[in-house]
């Protein structure tokens, strides 16, 4: 590439409402200040000419899980027109949370998870608190925390999700989330960028179809050596042959007191740059290198 790099910072269309990505204007402005021709573009903008960009950087496409097939088809088209980060193979693999099973098979400590596709008989835990959520989702959408032995509300939730075509995930609720929170280790350009910790997202009794606060009580965090080791193990186990420009590994404390993977965010993880403004320069450098 020669001349000024053209970078599409890919987001969602707020459709007249306030945009939820507070980092978006900060990142676009920082890229422009560094010499790039950067612009925020909704992924579903029919007028977007993706071939006109040197890089399409997926950032806050936070409505994609409602339209997963449409989004994956867009990623396929965009990846043929220009460089897409992260690449379409990563998008396709990470859009379905059954990837947790693949990580577990590779020896990565993960939250134990069972999957039930539409039509499958569903087994709900009888002796422990548990979580039911869709295998394709974001921001705790359609997720709920149920008391031990509770069946009626959980069964209604499963019926609703199966009727809409979702594969259902059932996990034990780890009480450590209430005391130690969830730790998010953010990687960019192949290196640890920063880490954050947030409080419990799922409050007892909150209906599955209620809106949740995705990142309550968010604050900076210094990851432990054990957390960093598990995060790096998870990233090394990704079976897609592609360089990851960015990744976020969400960890919780397992029953054994050791960190385990709750989610591996490779599509559109929030970077929390407002909490970590010192991370803006290394992000800009990595993005410009990817566009070169």
Q: What is residue 142's predicted lDDT score, i.e. its pLDDT? A: 84
**pLDDT of res. 203:** 84
Q: Are 122 and 241 found together in one domain?
A: yes
Contact indicator for 245, 286 with CB cutoff of 8 Å:
yes
pLDDT score at 2: 58
Q: 35 and 104: one domain?
A: no
Alpha-carbon distance of 83 to 217, in angstroms, equals: 35
The C-alpha torsion from 188 through 220 and 96 to 144, rounded to 10°, is -170
User: How many domains does the chain divide into?
Assistant: 2
Token representation of residue 235: 């990233």
Which pLDDT score, from 0 to 100, does residue 214 have?
80
Residue 257, pLDDT score: 95
Answer yes or no: is 287 within a domain.
no
Cβ atoms 220, 276 nearer than 8 A? yes
Domain-located, residue 1: no
Residues 226 and 194: beta-carbon distance below 8 Å:
no
All residue ranges of the chain with pLDDT < 50 are none
Based on the domain organization, do 123 and 256 belong to the same domain? yes
User: Would you tell me how many other CB atoms lie within 10 Å of the CB of residue 124?
Assistant: 17
Regarding whether 35 and 62 lie in a shared domain, the answer is yes
Q: Are residues 119 and 234 in the same domain?
A: yes
CA distance 181 to 204: 15
Structure tokens at 141: 């959408």
One domain, residues 82 and 182: no
Asked if the structure places residue 31 within a domain, the reply is yes
Quote the CA–CA distance of 291 and 253 in Å, as a whole number: 37
Does 74 share its domain with 202?
A: no
Q: Is 262 a member of any domain?
A: yes
**Distance from C-alpha of 206 to C-alpha of 131, rounded to nearest angstrom:** 12
> Can you give the CATH number for the domain in which 17 is found?
3.40.50.20
Q: What was the pLDDT predicted at 83?
A: 97
Residues 144, 212: one domain? Answer: yes
* Closest-CA residue to 220 (of 263, 150, 264, 273): 273
Give the pLDDT of residue 186.
98
Q: Which domain holds residue 186?
A: 99-266
For residue 160, is it within any domain? yes
Q: What is the pLDDT of residue 89?
A: 95
| Residue 23: φ, ψ to 5° | -80, -20
CATH number assigned to the domain comprising residue 243: 3.30.470.20
Within-domain flag for 110: yes
Catalytic residue list:
219, 248, 265
Query: Which pLDDT score is estimated for 35?
Result: 97
Looking at the structure, tell me whether residues 147 and 72 fall in a common domain. Answer: no
Beta strand 114-116 with 168-172 is antiparallel
Please tell me the number of Cα atoms within 13 Å of 21 on its side-chain side: 25
- According to the model, what pLDDT value does residue 139 have? 63
């Amino acid at each position: 590439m020669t001349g000024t790099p053209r970078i599409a910072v890919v987001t969602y269309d707020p459709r007249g409402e306030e945009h939820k990505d507070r980092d978006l204007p900060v990142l676009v402005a920082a890229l422009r200040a560094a010499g790039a021709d950067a612009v925020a573009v909704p992924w579903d903008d029919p007028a977007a000419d993706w071939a006109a960009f040197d890089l399409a950087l997926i950032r806050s496409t936070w409505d994609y899980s409602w339209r997963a097939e449409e989004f994956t088809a867009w990623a396929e088209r965009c990846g043929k027109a220009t460089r897409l980060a992260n690449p379409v193979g990563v998008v396709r693999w990470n859009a379905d949370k059954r990837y947790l099973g693949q990580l577990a098979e590779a020896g990565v400590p993960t939250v134990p998870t069972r999957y039930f596709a539409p039509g499958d008989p569903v087994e709900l835990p009888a002796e422990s608190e548990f979580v039911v959520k869709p295998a394709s989702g974001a921001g705790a959408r359609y997720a709920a925390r149920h008391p031990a032995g509770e069946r009626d509300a959980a069964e209604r939730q499963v019926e609703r999700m199966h009727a809409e075509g979702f594969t259902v995930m059932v996990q034990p609720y780890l009480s450590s989330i209430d005391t130690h929170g969830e730790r998010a280790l953010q990687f960019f350009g192949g290196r640890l960028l920063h880490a954050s910790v947030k409080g419990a997202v799922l409050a007892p009794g909150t209906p599955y179809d209620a809106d949740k606060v995705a990142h309550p009580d968010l604050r900076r965090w210094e990851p432990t050596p054990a957390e960093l080791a598990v995060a790096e193990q998870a990233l090394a186990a990704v079976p897609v042959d592609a360089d990851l420009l960015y990744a976020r590994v969400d960890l919780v404390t397992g029953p054994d007191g050791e960190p385990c993977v709750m989610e591996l965010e490779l599509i559109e993880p929030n970077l929390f740059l407002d909490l970590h403004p010192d991370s803006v320069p290394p992000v800009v450098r990595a993005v410009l290198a990817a566009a070169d």
